[in-house]
Amino acid sequence: MARVLIVDDDPQLLRALRINLTAHRHTVTTAADGASGLRAAASTNPELVVVDLGLPDMDGVAVVEGIRGWSTVPIIVLSARDTESSKVDALDAGADDYVTKPFGVNELLARMRAALRRAVPSADEPLVVTEAFTIDLAAKRARTPTGEVRLTPTEWHLLEALVRRPDKLVPHKQLLQEVWGPRYETETNYLRVHMANLRRKLEPDPARPRYLITEAGIGYRFTP
């Protein structure tokens, strides 16, 4: 039960998604182009956004970037583009997930549930303190000496999966299952993009990470 914004220029798809999502008790707003989608995102304060890449007035990646400029709302990209570069571009812009058309409505609903779960804060969680940043797991906030750092829900979930296991190697497969779900076991490009974003936001020297360590070909490790 969430406020969902869908940005897509296919009227039949918009109608079908509105019917299906409303049947699952979501409140649905639709937009047929990027500019309308950005205005709707600002005016309706959605809890989840679904964006097509092939919009008539702008690329959907620009919509993702526009929303990410002020919001951490979960964003799922919905596109017929199935190349790795398209997925990486969308994830790098701030998308949390990528669904390739054609798709099943049940699959989309499952991914929406997963994205919404990642966005829900937990209570009574500890602080994680390093010399470079502090992570408040309860509030889902991070701070560096220069101020608060804005992280997306997926970036938070990935960071949590690592900081809850300090000094322990977490394999690629385990991270993908925990953050995105069992269908993502081979999507290592998801990890690569989001880890690069986390390092850029948190590491003093992202090119030589001190805290978010890569174990080549195996996984990642948080070293406090």
Residue 53: partners with Cβ closer than 8 Å, 6 or more residues away: 59, 60, 61, 77, 79, 81, 86, 90
pLDDT at position 157, please? 86
* Structural domain of 194: 127-222
Does one domain contain both 52 and 79?
yes
* Residue range 110-145, pLDDT digits in tens: 999 989 888 765 545 578 889 999 998 877 889 999
Q: What is the pTM of this model?
A: 0.68
Q: Are residues 29 and 94 in the same domain?
A: yes
Which among 203, 59, 67 is positioned nearest to 131, based on CA atoms? 203
Q: Each residue of 189-218: pLDDT tens digit?
A: 999 999 999 999 999 999 999 999 999 989
Shared-domain flag, residues 107 and 32: yes
Averaged pLDDT score across all residues of the chain: 90
* Nearest to 190, CA basis, from 116, 88, 114: 88
Per-residue pLDDT of 16-69, as tens digits, reads: 999 999 999 999 999 999 999 999 998 888 999 999 999 999 999 999 999 988
Amino acid (one-letter) located at 202: L
Same domain flag for 71 and 166: no
The pLDDT of residue 29 is 97
Give the model's pLDDT for residue 70.
82
Predicted local confidence at residue 125, as pLDDT: 56
Over range 68-80, report the average pLDDT: 90
Which of 119, 148, 176 is a domain's end point?
119
Other beta carbons within 10 angstroms of residue 180's beta carbon come to: 23
Indicate if 139 and 111 belong to the same structural domain. Answer: no
pLDDT score recorded for residue 46? 94
Which one of 119, 138, 164 terminates a domain? 119
Residue 183's pLDDT is 79
Q: 66: phi > 0 → left, psi -120 to 50 → alpha, else beta; which?
A: alpha
Q: Same structural domain for residues 206 and 147?
A: yes
| Domains: count for the chain | 2
User: How far is residue 85's CA from residue 88's CA, in Å, rounded to a whole number?
Assistant: 5
Average of per-residue pLDDT across 92-99: 92
Same domain as 79, residue 103 = yes
CA distances from 24 to 62, 74, 105, 192, 206 (A): 29, 18, 11, 33, 42
From 119, 147, 165, give the residue that closes a domain.
119
Question: Are 114 and 147 part of one and the same domain?
Answer: no
CATH number for 189: 1.10.10.10
Ranges of H-type helices in 78-140:
84-93, 105-119
Per-residue pLDDT band at 74 (split at 50, 70, 90)? very high
C-alpha span between 95 and 104 (Å, rounded): 20
Whether residue 160 is found in the same domain as residue 140? yes
Pair type for strands 3-7 and 48-52: parallel
From CA 56, how far away is CA 166, in angstroms rounded? 46
Q: Over 80: is that where the pLDDT of 222 sits?
A: yes
Q: Are residues 186 and 140 in the same domain?
A: yes
Return the CATH number at 91: 3.40.50.2300
- Same domain for 134 and 113, yes or no, is no
Which pLDDT score, from 0 to 100, does residue 54 have? Answer: 92
Same domain for 96 and 134, yes or no, is: no
